[in-house]
């Protein structure tokens, strides 16, 4: 930063901390300050924060290239008037203003209005800003050089603010270690009204209310952590807060109105002893709070809520090794989603165990909380869903965010089409590219009104309140998500909803509906149900996910000396393509301890190394192994001879184009292959210790691509580094830990990236 002189107007905690942070960052040029209190200036000089100062502004303006206004919002107008008079004509305007002015006020529209009034226009060199940092302390003595480190600073430039001025203010805050974002003025004021002004208002009110009561000394004596945590900010500067509430009146009142509605709802629940309503609110709040914590800690939890992950996760897999042991992989993702969906719509309490605590299924769970369903857990895979009945869901207050989860979005589309209220479904960047016309089109045939973005992509706006009628639908693709979506909509439709599938797909929805007492019929390739029935709560034991188990099946299958048991794996006949394909390739794979748990068959899978051979993958196995191909491509790369896959065009519309993503990765590690539209030929390197090389792979944020290349390291000659792996947490939380337990040599690395 090469500002010749920085002038800070208002040397309190915020202005003083800015000077302290700049000094700590090695800023050697002059910093001066103006403050009505001469003692504050003196203290600032003694603390080494500023080189000089004055109680009058005008004498300090000359020679300053950057002016920071750190005075209370209602003092802004006077300061701006003085600045406008003192600054030479034109220095804050033009394409490259000589003098740049910024502020730190908590509300922006009011400060913008002051500037307009004082200067007659918004000068191109004025960049309004707001550091989201502070403390209940005030005065320069409380200055903290780290106050802004890792905090956000929001800039609210206007359309004609000079880019060079914005760049200078960015550099100022970045030098203090802050992260700089931009926002429109109005949006800033609304967001801050909710996240900062409302909580301050509540804290001031609570402390004041208690302090007025006669027995106040008694009360404060017994006030413990809850009181202290909640009211810390009531010790903040009263003048500053009077100014903020005066300046941001309208946005604060709107936020307060919303809050009063919530308070009234909870008051009523307490009054009538509605435990479910209380639980629903507390659970939602508790999870939202944990989510907020995880954002602060930059760890990944479920819904990203429009925010990019702050850190990028990379896996490093050292070459070689073998796998051995007895493990249980996390619960089945498909069944976990459905357990919450049907549990929520059922009458009574559904107990789930083995629930997958991955981001995808947690997104489903959170969405139901947002629709008023009380859900306890998950605690070590246990979830208790307090069903609200077929018509008991409530309108959520905003869009439902389902993250990376295609299953959640497509199944929700059907379920929500049957509700009386409108909803919007949104997802992360990857999900936003995936086709939703496949569900929106047949739902429209049933009478639903749904808007999609261009090309049938998310977001999905479901109007709700429509009368649905059953249809007889011939699915153009083999998709369990489409089938399930229509069956869920069919629960709300008049008459029969029939779905014909071109090839068998996973039937968890049908099985679970039956488990909840809802009749689902099947005849050959067609299943159907009649709308208007009810679901009765049930208990669900979610088996381990065969799709997650696959990574370890392939790991053992390709590595001499391996011997591994995977416990309690779901072996639903519509999911066992991977078992059939690996056996055809010559794998030594045995099923033991076969049993049925809650309507789903499970078994322990025992796999030992045996040399694999390339095969033509039977087409009828493709839908039964649809999620397993990334790992199976690695099996093929390590087998003797060519493996051919055809009829797998659906792989191109998964979390990534999995044919291309895998082909690119295989090319990097030196595996010969030929891509075709609906499949691939992979030339296996044969039964050698080292089948291919290493390299750096982009998983494209696709969890299964990332895990497949970790497995590949077992037969690689060099390290395989895989980027963009955070989404592994969508389906397989704890993957690398478990991989290390059985003998893989994989580690995680997080790089910070700019948001
Ligand atoms: C799923 C169905 C499959 C599968 C997905 C889960 C489900 O998708 O790939 O991971 O739970 O119904 P399609 O229905 O698009 O094939």
Ligand 1: residue whose CA is nearest its atom 4 = 627
pLDDT in tens, 214-250: 665 677 777 777 888 888 889 888 888 999 999 999 9
Please tell me whether residue 528 adopts helix, strand or coil conformation. Answer: strand
User: Is residue 303 scored above 50 in pLDDT?
Assistant: no
**What is the arithmetic mean of pLDDT over 1-17?**
90
Ligand 1 centroid – CA 334 distance (Å) = 7
Ligand 1 centroid – CA 479 distance (Å) = 6
Q: Please report the beta strands in 370-468, taking only residues with DSSP state E, as ranges in sequence order.
A: 374-379, 382-388, 400-401, 423-426, 450-453, 457-462
User: Is residue 309 scored above 70 in pLDDT?
Assistant: no
Looking at residue 239, its pLDDT comes to 87
Q: 629-637 and 546-557 are packed helices; what angle lies between their axes, rounded to 10 degrees?
A: 10
> Do residue 368 and residue 320 come from a single domain?
no
Contact 501, 495 (CB under 8 A): no
Does the annotation list 658 as a binding residue? yes
With respect to residue 341, please indicate whether it lies within any of the assigned structural domains.
no
> Within a 10 A sphere around the Cβ of 87, how many other Cβ atoms?
22
Looking at residue 237, its pLDDT comes to 86
> Do residue 590 and residue 660 come from a single domain?
yes
Is ligand 1 within 6 A of the CB of residue 407? yes
Domain that holds residue 236: 192-273
> Do residue 134 and residue 235 come from a single domain?
no
Ligand 1: residue whose CA is nearest its atom 9 = 627
Does the annotation list 522 as a binding residue? no
> Do residue 204 and residue 240 come from a single domain?
yes
234 contact partners, CB below 8 Å, separation of at least 6: 136, 200, 203, 204, 206, 207, 208
User: Is residue 281 scored above 50 in pLDDT?
Assistant: yes
Ligand 1 centroid – CA 288 distance (Å) = 28
Ligand 1 centroid – CA 480 distance (Å) = 5
Confidence of residue 752 (pLDDT cuts 50, 70, 90): low
User: Is residue 266 scored above 50 in pLDDT?
Assistant: yes
The two tokens of residue 216 are: 């106040």
> Do residue 200 and residue 175 come from a single domain?
no
User: Which secondary-structure segment (H or E) carries 360?
Assistant: helix 359-370
**H helices of 120-153, where?**
none
**What is the arithmetic mean of pLDDT over 548-575?**
98
User: Is residue 441 scored above 80 in pLDDT?
Assistant: yes
Does the annotation list 316 as a binding residue? no
The two tokens of residue 499 are: 């779905």
**What is the arithmetic mean of pLDDT over 363-391?**
91
> Do residue 68 and residue 172 come from a single domain?
yes
Cα–Cα nearest to 669, from 644, 640, 690: 690
**What is the arithmetic mean of pLDDT over 268-284?**
91
> Do residue 548 and residue 491 come from a single domain?
no
Contact 363, 730 (CB under 8 A): no
Domain total of the chain: 4
Say how far apart CA 315 and CA 750 lie, in whole Å: 9
With respect to residue 303, please indicate whether it lies within any of the assigned structural domains.
no
Is ligand 1 within 6 A of the CB of residue 339? no
Pairing of strands 496-500, 472-474: parallel
Contact 304, 401 (CB under 8 A): yes
Does the annotation list 406 as a binding residue? yes
Cα–Cα nearest to 33, from 169, 554, 14, 480: 14
Which of 356, 485, 506, 727, when mutated, tests ligand 1's pocket best, judged by the most ligand atoms within 8 Å of its CB?
A: 506
Cα–Cα nearest to 487, from 413, 426, 540: 413
With respect to residue 342, please indicate whether it lies within any of the assigned structural domains.
no
Which ligand 1 atom is at minimum distance from the Cα of 477?
Answer: 16
User: Which secondary-structure segment (H or E) carries 246?
Assistant: helix 238-247
* Domain end marker among 183, 208, 239: 183
pLDDT in tens, 643-667: 999 999 999 999 999 999 999 999 9
Does the annotation list 328 as a binding residue? no
> Do residue 618 and residue 512 come from a single domain?
no
User: Is residue 362 scored above 60 in pLDDT?
Assistant: yes
User: Is residue 113 scored above 90 in pLDDT?
Assistant: yes
Is ligand 1 within 6 A of the CB of residue 730? no
With respect to residue 152, please indicate whether it lies within any of the assigned structural domains.
yes
Does the annotation list 457 as a binding residue? no
Contact 522, 510 (CB under 8 A): yes
Pairing of strands 52-54, 30-34: parallel
Placement of tokens 């659906």 in the chain: 650
User: Is residue 608 scored above 70 in pLDDT?
Assistant: yes
Q: Please report the beta strands in 10-131, taking only residues with DSSP state E, as ranges in sequence order.
A: 30-34, 52-54, 66-69, 100-103, 126-127, 129-131
Placement of tokens 């005065």 in the chain: 139
With respect to residue 352, please indicate whether it lies within any of the assigned structural domains.
no
Q: What is the domain-level CATH number for residue 496?
A: 3.65.10.10
Distance between terminal CA atoms of the chain?
Answer: 22
Looking at residue 318, its pLDDT comes to 97
Report the mean per-residue pLDDT for the chain.
93
User: Is residue 308 scored above 50 in pLDDT?
Assistant: no
Say how far apart CA 716 and CA 739 lie, in whole Å: 16
> Would you mind telling me the total number of residues written for the chain in this entry?
755
More confident residue, 613 or 134: 613
Biggest distance spanned by C-alpha atoms of the chain: 90
Which ligand 1 atom is at minimum distance from the Cα of 650?
Answer: 16
User: Is residue 689 scored above 80 in pLDDT?
Assistant: no
> Within a 10 A sphere around the Cβ of 312, how many other Cβ atoms?
16
User: Is residue 305 scored above 70 in pLDDT?
Assistant: no
Is ligand 1 within 6 A of the CB of residue 651? no
Q: What is the domain-level CATH number for residue 212?
A: 1.10.3660.10
Is ligand 1 within 6 A of the CB of residue 702? no
Is ligand 1 within 6 A of the CB of residue 484? yes
Looking at residue 297, its pLDDT comes to 41
Say how far apart CA 444 and CA 489 lie, in whole Å: 11
pLDDT in tens, 488-537: 999 999 999 999 999 999 999 999 999 999 999 999 999 999 999 999 99
> Within a 10 A sphere around the Cβ of 690, how many other Cβ atoms?
12
> Within a 10 A sphere around the Cβ of 620, how many other Cβ atoms?
12
* Domain end marker among 485, 501, 533: 533
Q: 437-445 and 480-490 are packed helices; what angle lies between their axes, rounded to 10 degrees?
A: 30
Ligand 1 centroid – CA 576 distance (Å) = 14
> Do residue 527 and residue 624 come from a single domain?
no
In the chain, pLDDT over 90 holds for what percent of residues?
83
> Do residue 77 and residue 27 come from a single domain?
yes
Which of 406, 415, 657, when mutated, tests ligand 1's pocket best, judged by the most ligand atoms within 8 Å of its CB?
A: 406
Is ligand 1 within 6 A of the CB of residue 704? no
Which of 334, 570, 577, 653, when mutated, tests ligand 1's pocket best, judged by the most ligand atoms within 8 Å of its CB?
A: 334
Looking at residue 668, its pLDDT comes to 98
Say how far apart CA 747 and CA 287 lie, in whole Å: 29
With respect to residue 582, please indicate whether it lies within any of the assigned structural domains.
yes
Say how far apart CA 117 and CA 124 lie, in whole Å: 15
pTM attached to this predicted model? 0.68
Looking at residue 397, its pLDDT comes to 82
Q: What is the domain-level CATH number for residue 67?
A: 3.40.50.720
With respect to residue 284, please indicate whether it lies within any of the assigned structural domains.
no
Say how far apart CA 725 and CA 736 lie, in whole Å: 11
The two tokens of residue 10 are: 């208002």
Looking at residue 523, its pLDDT comes to 97
> Do residue 174 and residue 81 come from a single domain?
yes
Using H for helix, E for strand and C for coil, what is the string for 68-135? EECCCHHHHHHHHHHHHHHCCCCCCCCCCCCCEEEECCCCCHHHHHHHHHHHCCCCCCEECEEECCCC
The two tokens of residue 432 are: 């936003």
* Domain end marker among 149, 183, 217: 183
187 contact partners, CB below 8 Å, separation of at least 6: none
> Do residue 385 and residue 512 come from a single domain?
yes
Please tell me whether residue 399 adopts helix, strand or coil conformation. Answer: coil
In the chain, pLDDT over 70 holds for what percent of residues?
96
Number of H helices, E strands in the chain: 26, 32
With respect to residue 278, please indicate whether it lies within any of the assigned structural domains.
no
User: Is residue 753 scored above 80 in pLDDT?
Assistant: no
Q: Which residues are catalytic?
A: 627
């Amino acid at each position: 930063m090469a500002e010749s002189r920085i002038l800070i107007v208002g040397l309190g905690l915020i202005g003083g901390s800015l000077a302290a942070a700049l000094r700590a960052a090695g800023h050697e040029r002059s910093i001066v300050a103006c403050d009505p209190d001469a003692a504050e200036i003196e203290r600032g000089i003694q603390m080494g924060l500023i080189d000089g100062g004055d109680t009058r502004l005008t004498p300090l303006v000359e020679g300053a290239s950057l002016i920071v206004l750190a005075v209370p919002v209602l003092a802004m107008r006077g300061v701006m008037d003085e600045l406008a008079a003192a600054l030479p004509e034109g220095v804050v305007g033009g394409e490259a203003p000589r003098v740049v002015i910024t502020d730190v006020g908590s509300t922006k529209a009011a400060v913008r209005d002051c500037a307009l009034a004082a200067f007659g226009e918004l000068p191109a060199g004025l960049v309004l800003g707001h550091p989201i940092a502070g403390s209940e302390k005030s005065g320069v003595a409380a200055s903290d050089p780290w106050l802004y480190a890792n905090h956000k600073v929001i800039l609210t430039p206007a359309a004609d603010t000079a880019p060079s001025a914005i760049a200078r203010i960015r550099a100022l805050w970045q030098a203090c270690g802050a992260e700089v974002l931009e926002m429109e003025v109005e949006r800033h004021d609304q967001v801050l009204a909710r996240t900062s002004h409302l909580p301050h208002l509540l804290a001031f009110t609570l402390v004041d209310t208690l302090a007025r009561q006669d027995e106040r000394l008694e009360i404060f004596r017994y006030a413990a952590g809850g009181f202290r945590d909640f009211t810390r900010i009531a010790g903040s500067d009263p003048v500053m807060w009077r100014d903020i509430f005066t300046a941001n009146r309208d946005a604060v009142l709107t936020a307060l109105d919303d809050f009063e509605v919530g308070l009234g709802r909870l008051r009523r629940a307490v009054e009538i002893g509605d435990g479910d309503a209380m639980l629903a609110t507390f659970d939602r709040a508790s999870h939202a709070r944990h989510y907020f914590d995880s954002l602060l800690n930059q760890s990944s939890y479920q819904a990203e809520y429009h925010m990019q992950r702050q850190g990028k996760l990379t896996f490093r897999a050292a070459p070689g090794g073998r796998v051995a042991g007895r493990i249980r992989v996390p619960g089945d993702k498909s069944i976990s989603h459905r357990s919450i969906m049907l549990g929520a719509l059922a009458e009574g309490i559904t107990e789930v165990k083995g629930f997958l605590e991955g981001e995808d299924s947690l997104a489903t769970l959170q969405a139901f909380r947002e629709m008023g369903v009380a859900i306890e857990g998950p605690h070590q895979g246990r979830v208790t869903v307090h069903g609200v009945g077929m018509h008991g869901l409530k309108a959520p207050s905003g869009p439902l965010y389902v993250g990376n989860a295609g299953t959640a979005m497509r199944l929700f589309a059907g379920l929500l089409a049957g509700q009386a209220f409108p909803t919007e479904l949104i997802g992360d960047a990857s999900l936003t590219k995936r086709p939703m016309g496949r569900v929106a089109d047949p739902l429209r045939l049933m009478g639903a009104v749904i808007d999609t973005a261009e090309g049938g992509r998310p977001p999905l706006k479901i109007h709700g309140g429509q009368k649905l009628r059953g249809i007889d639908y011939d699915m153009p693709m083999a998709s369990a998500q489409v089938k399930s979506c229509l069956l869920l909509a069919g629960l709300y439709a008049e008459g029969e909803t029939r779905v014909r599938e071109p090839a068998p797909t996973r039937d968890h929805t049908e099985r679970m509906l039956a488990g909840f007492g809802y009749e689902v019929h099947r005849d050959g390739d067609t299943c159907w149900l009649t709308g208007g029935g009810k679901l009765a709560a049930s208990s669900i034991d979610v088996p381990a996910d065969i799709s997650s188990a696959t990574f370890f099946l392939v790991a053992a299958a390709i590595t001499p000396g391996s011997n591994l048991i995977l416990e309690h794996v779901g072996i639903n006949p519509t999911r066992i393509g991977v078992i059939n394909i690996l056996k055809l390739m010559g794998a030594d794979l045995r099923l033991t301890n076969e049993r049925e748990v809650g309507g789903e068959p499970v078994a322990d899978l025992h796999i030992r190394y045996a040399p694999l051979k390339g095969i033509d993958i039977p087409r009828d196995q493709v839908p039964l192994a649809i999620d397993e191909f990334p790992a199976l491509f690695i099996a093929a790369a390590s087998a003797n001879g060519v493996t051919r896959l055809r009829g797998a065009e659906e792989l191109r519309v998964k979390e990534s184009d999995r044919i291309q993503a895998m082909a690119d990765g295989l090319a990097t590690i030196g595996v010969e292959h030929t891509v075709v539209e609906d499949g691939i030929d992979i030339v296996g390197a044969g039964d050698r210790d080292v089948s291919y090389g290493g390299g750096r792979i982009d998983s494209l944020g696709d969890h299964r691509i990332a895990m497949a290349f970790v497995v590949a390291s077992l037969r690689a000659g060099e390290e395989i580094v895989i980027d963009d792996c955070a989404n592994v947490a969508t389906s397989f939380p704890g993957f690398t830990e478990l991989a290390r337990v059985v003998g893989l040599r994989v580690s995680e690395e997080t790089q910070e990236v700019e948001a």
